Every structure is written in structure tokens, then in C-alpha cells.
Structure 1
Amino acid sequence: MKLSAQEYARRVRRIGPHSPLGMDCLWAFGVGGCICLLGEVLRQRYLALGLEADLAGTLTSCSLIALSAVLTTLGWYQKLAAKAGAGSLVPITGFANAVVSAAIEFKSEGRVLGTGAKMFTIAGPVIVYGTLAAVVYGVVLWAAGALGVALPS
């Protein structure tokens, strides 16, 4: 049986699951916004404790990473991601979830070869890129200083 493209598309629309795009986007926006709001609330709390702005920002990042790792370990982050979609991929919590998920997945292979090695499956490229980018930026700044070129700050 040969179907035309239009007939195939019509059958897919009729039989396939309905995807409420507007509601999915709203959920993603809401969850991503709530994660960012939580980060700002934490930052303001740290500032209210009298901490410097840089330290408050660092502690906020660490808190969000730890919270994401705990929620991933409990299996709750995956449930949130199933409902929120891309909204749960706020960079800091999404990255922590990806690293912890990879480590949990390979737990059966042992602590060193499983968990210890596999958690860098996701983190490895990011760490390598960050290190190489820092070296490149350092060389550029060093070369500019050696040549007496003023770079914009």
C-alpha cells in the first residue's frame, strides 16, 4: 500500500498522540523560571547573612548543584524533567543532573570504573573545553601584553 505524503500526515495526526505545544511551552517556561527564582532567593538569603556578593553567588551555584544532585539521586529530577521538558535544563541544574545521572547509571560496574569514570562522560568535554579556553585566553592576554596591545576590558 503506497501512501501519499498528505495521506500519511493525515493518518499520523489522527492516530498519533496529541501534543499540547502551548501547554508544554508554558510548563517549560514556568519550571525554568522557578529554578531561576529559587537561585535568586538563595542568593538574596546569602546576601542577607552579610556575605559578599561573589561568595553569595558561589554559594548559590553550589546550593543549586547540590539540590539537583539530591533530586536526581532520589529520582525526582527525572519526573520533573518529564513534565517540564526543556525547562528543567537550566544550565547549572541540568548539568548537575546529567553528571549524576551518568554516575548512577553505571553504579553496577563498581565505584571506580563505573560511577567514578562514567560521571565524566558528560563532564569531561565541558572540563576539557573550559581548560583549553582558559589556556587560549591566557595566551591571547599574555601575547597582547608582550606586544603592548591594549585589550578592551
Structure 2
Amino acid sequence: MSNQKRSSVSNVVNEQDVQKRNQNYNQYVKEITPKFSIAKNTIKAFVVGGIICTIGQGFTNYYMYLGADEELAKSYNTLTLVFLSVLLTGLGIYQKIAKFGGAGTLVPITGFANSVAAPAVEYKKEGQVFGIGCKIFTIAGPVILYGIFSTWLLGLIYYLLKQFGVV
């Protein structure tokens, strides 16, 4: 931490007047909060997400060229994208892409694969069971849980509506 930041933090902590301390804290937060452009981030996310989807479409077309029907080609495409995402996560490349592309890397299935693989890589030093086994679903677990629950709930609503002749 630089001397200027240390002195700024010190001013916030050592101030006795609560109102002045709050003002100092708010000023400190404003100074260290990164500035970003919504338009620039949106464009980067759109481009990176578009590139990922274009690569996925390329894999689908390639598998169909090799003789797979469309449904099988899409399944192979999904497996390929998940594999590549996990591989790039393990090599530390996906995080760099995500830092640049933001939400563009989170929306495709590659983002989900990354969210499962990243904790495994991060916690592998804690061992196979307590590290990888316990932490692998820390990010993806809630997505899986609420995805399954909401699917079940919507399926139940659809079933009830169908039974009463509404749908």
C-alpha cells in the first residue's frame, strides 16, 4: 500500500468526529473505486460473447460436416465448449478473457463451466476432499439448485394449468 493510501486510511480511522469520519470514508471509497464505462463494457461483452457463440456455431457446423445429425452436433459442441472452458480455466487464460469481456464470458455455457472449474483450481492446495470436493460447487451450486427448483416449480404450474384446461 502506498504512503498516500496509508495516510488516507489513517485519516478515516483516526478521525474522532463521526460525521467527518464518514465524509473521509466516502471520499476514500470514491478515490479507490475503479471507474468504468457502461457503453464500453457492453460492447466488450457483446463482442466476446459473440466470438464464443461464433466458435460454438463453428463446432456445430464442423461436427455436422463430419456426419453427425444436428442434435448430436449440438451435443458435441456443448461438450467441446465445456472442455475448452475448463482447460482455459486451468491454464489461467479464461480469467483474463473474463476480465476483458465481463458478462460476455458468463452468459454462454463456458461461463458455467468456468464457475465450476475455478474453485477446483483455487482450492486444490487444500486437498482432493476438503479442497476440490467441498469447494467445487461454491459458485455453481446455487445456480444448479435454483435452476432445478425453478424448473420444477414452472413444470408444476404448467401441469396444473393444463389439468384445469387453461393451457
Query: Is 1:56 matched with 2:69?
Result: no
Count of residues paired in the alignment: 142
Pick aligned residue for 2:102 from 82, 85, 92: 85
Name structure 1 gaps, 5 residues minimum.
3-7
State the alpha-carbon separation in 2 of the partners of residues 23 and 132 from structure 1: 35
Q: Which has the higher contact order (CA 8 A, sep 6+)?
A: 1
State, as a whole percentage, how many aligned pairs show the same letter.
42
Deviation at 1:83, TM superposition (A): 1.5
Pick aligned residue for 2:115 from 92, 98, 106: 98
Deviation at 1:84, TM superposition (A): 1.6
TM-superposition CA deviations, 1:124-149 (whole Å, max 9, x none): 223323443454426853x677x5x5
State the alpha-carbon separation in 2 of the partners of residues 64 and 132 from structure 1: 25
State the alpha-carbon separation in 2 of the partners of residues 34 and 27 from structure 1: 11
Alignment map for 1:1-153 (pairs within 5 Å):
19-136=36-153, 137=155, 141=159, 147=163, 152=167
TM-score, normalised with respect to structure 1: 0.74
Name structure 2 gaps, 5 residues minimum.
1-18, 21-25
Which residue identity lines up with residue 31 of structure 1 in the other structure?
V
Q: In angstroms, what is the RMSD of aligned CA positions?
A: 3.1
TM-score, normalised with respect to structure 2: 0.69
